[in-house]
Structure 1
Amino acid sequence: MTTKTGSGVQSVERAFDLLELIARAGGECTLSELAEQTPLPLPTIHRLLRTLVGIGHVRQLPNRRYALGPRLIRLGEVANRQLGALAAPVLRSLVDELGESANLAVLDGDMVTYTGQVPSPHSMRMNTEVGRRANLHSSGVGKAILAVLDDERITRLVLQAGMPAATQHSITTLPELMAEIERIRAQGHAVDEQEQELGVRCFAMAVPGAPTPMALSISGPVSRVDEAFATQAVAALERATRTISEALTGAAL
């Protein structure tokens, strides 16, 4: 029986560490960039990458960079469904308390992907399909996630994805975005002020200690999601993100 300190398990751990590093780099990086981020010897990194490429978990691009491979897609889809199921009761509780649509989104490369959603009971409401992707700079969940990343990674992800203007309220320059990130870090939550869709306001908060950056949000028409709504929404999001964080920690044990 191989123990955790055995070479087999150690190799598995190292391989997954490399996958995590590639993911944190936005989905692709060079061999030298990986070497800068890990104490592993270059020959070991190269050997592990060859193995991962051989089984389809990593692919080598024509420019010699390494990217996450197609075999990971199904794993990610299943994991996202399980995450959505875990979060569903929390999202339902938010909707019951606040009356507006609740969402869960995770960092996916240089964008966010919505993995859970419970709609508002109102006929006029914000609906976001599970699986939909959105830009980091113009969504409440995206900005909340950016705020828990370091500035260097924020710059890399945003410049890689670009900053298209979804509405006339969208942030379109990096200095403006970084100023917004500082405000989010100070107040503990993000606000989408009609930046993704006209007439819709969204409050979002990152899940603390999550194994992959993720955020919860509550969104609805600006006529209902107003200043009076904000205090209640922020308090509810604090409880909800804490619940998700505790559930994820328990699931990892």
Structure 2
Amino acid sequence: MIGSVQRAMRLLECVAAHEHGAPAKQLARETGLALPTAYHLLRTLVHEGYLRRDKGLFFLGEAAERLGDSGATQKRRSTVAGLLAQWRDAIGAPVYYAVYRGGEIEMLCVSDTPGNPAAEEWADFRETGHAHAIGQCLLAQLDDEARRDHLDRYPVQSLTPYTVHDDRTLLRRLERLRRLGPVTERQEYALGVVCAAIPITLGATAAAMAISLPAHQSDRLLPAVQQLQAEIGRLTGSMGLSISI
């Protein structure tokens, strides 16, 4: 083990335990370090941005805070991935999670298995929201201005013979969609694939979860997405963790 690294990490942990900061002498005493050693390491950590010094007290610096934020994000990702895997196994279908953020459709997590593979992204999901259930579910949650802005940037295009053909038809469909009901599409994005999505309430952010199935299993689509909706309903509080991933 590299002793200087171990000592520096002990100092970081000690500073983190003092919300209102701590002086070098206290930190040296609590970590069992000689004061000259503690001073040297503290100056180095301040120089590198992991600590900051204010009126003789040491606090966590921006670099350490970035590490903490990254760790929290990874933990949230792991939590969401675990939930999706749990629902995937219970339903027997791949599960998708996406949000509409910054004017774009973001697919944040997909959980599938070799036996139940996810739909192949043969056309960019961000640009083809009009064709797949997740995109339609997200667009239905936007206000008119945001929805039209999206369609101006990503016009409706026919991907299969079943895809909606024009903006007007799509907008009428989006207006008819029940806010809390499932959105279904059958082979509009990809031939041989059917999909259903449900909206997720995450404050002002539009979010959705979805499943897909082979077209020959289309009779399973509604029961499966209703099961997903019930599973999410039991764990609504946990979904709040996902918004910042």
Q: Shorter-normalised TM-score: what interval?
A: 0.5 to 0.7
Shift of 1:78: 9.3
Identity of aligned residues (%): 23
1: CA distance, partners of 2:211 / 2:115: 14
The AA in structure 2 aligned to 1:235 is Q
Is 1:89 paired with 2:82?
yes
Residue in 2 that maps onto 1:11: none
Is 1:197 paired with 2:190?
yes
Residue in 2 that maps onto 1:173: 166
Q: Compared with structure 1, are the counterparts of its residues 250 and 99 closer, same or farther at alpha carbon in structure 2 (3 Å cutoff)? A: closer
Please tell me whether the aligned partners of residues 191 and 202 of structure 1 are also in contact (alpha carbons under 8 angstroms). Answer: yes
The AA in structure 1 aligned to 2:188 is E
2: CA distance, partners of 1:210 / 1:251: 12
Please tell me whether the aligned partners of residues 90 and 240 of structure 1 are also in contact (alpha carbons under 8 angstroms). Answer: no
Please tell me whether the aligned partners of residues 104 and 217 of structure 1 are also in contact (alpha carbons under 8 angstroms). Answer: yes
Q: Computing the radius of gyration over CA atoms, which structure comes out larger, 1 or 2?
A: 2
Is 1:104 paired with 2:92?
no
Q: Compared with structure 1, are the counterparts of its residues 134 and 251 closer, same or farther at alpha carbon in structure 2 (3 Å cutoff)? A: closer
Note the residue ranges of structure 2 that are not aligned, 5 or more in a row: 1-69
The AA in structure 1 aligned to 2:225 is V
Is 1:232 paired with 2:223?
yes
1:1-253 to 2 correspondence within 5 Å? 84-122=77-115, 126-127=119-120, 133-185=126-178, 188-226=181-219, 229-242=220-233, 245-249=236-240
2: CA distance, partners of 1:162 / 1:81: 35
The AA in structure 1 aligned to 2:224 is A
Q: Secondary structure at 1:114's aligned position in 2?
A: strand
Q: Compared with structure 1, are the counterparts of its residues 152 and 123 closer, same or farther at alpha carbon in structure 2 (3 Å cutoff)? A: closer
Q: Secondary structure at 2:162's aligned position in 1?
A: coil
Q: TM-score, normalised by structure 1?
A: 0.58
Please tell me whether the aligned partners of residues 210 and 245 of structure 1 are also in contact (alpha carbons under 8 angstroms). Answer: no
Q: Compared with structure 1, are the counterparts of its residues 175 and 123 closer, same or farther at alpha carbon in structure 2 (3 Å cutoff)? A: closer
Q: Compared with structure 1, are the counterparts of its residues 89 and 124 closer, same or farther at alpha carbon in structure 2 (3 Å cutoff)? A: closer
Please tell me whether the aligned partners of residues 77 and 242 of structure 2 are also in contact (alpha carbons under 8 angstroms). Answer: no
Please tell me whether the aligned partners of residues 166 and 197 of structure 1 are also in contact (alpha carbons under 8 angstroms). Answer: yes
My pick for the range that moved more, 199-208 or 92-101, is 92-101
Please tell me whether the aligned partners of residues 195 and 221 of structure 2 are also in contact (alpha carbons under 8 angstroms). Answer: no
Please tell me whether the aligned partners of residues 170 and 195 of structure 1 are also in contact (alpha carbons under 8 angstroms). Answer: yes
Q: TM-score, normalised by structure 2?
A: 0.59
1: CA distance, partners of 2:173 / 2:179: 10
Deviations 1:97-134 (A, max 9, x none): 221111111224444221111114526663559x9645
Aligned residue pair count: 173
2: CA distance, partners of 1:104 / 1:207: 9
CA RMSD, 1 decimal: 3.2
Note the residue ranges of structure 1 that are not aligned, 5 or more in a row: 1-76
2: CA distance, partners of 1:220 / 1:184: 21
Shift of 1:230: 3.2
Q: Secondary structure at 1:135's aligned position in 2?
A: coil
1: CA distance, partners of 2:165 / 2:74: 32
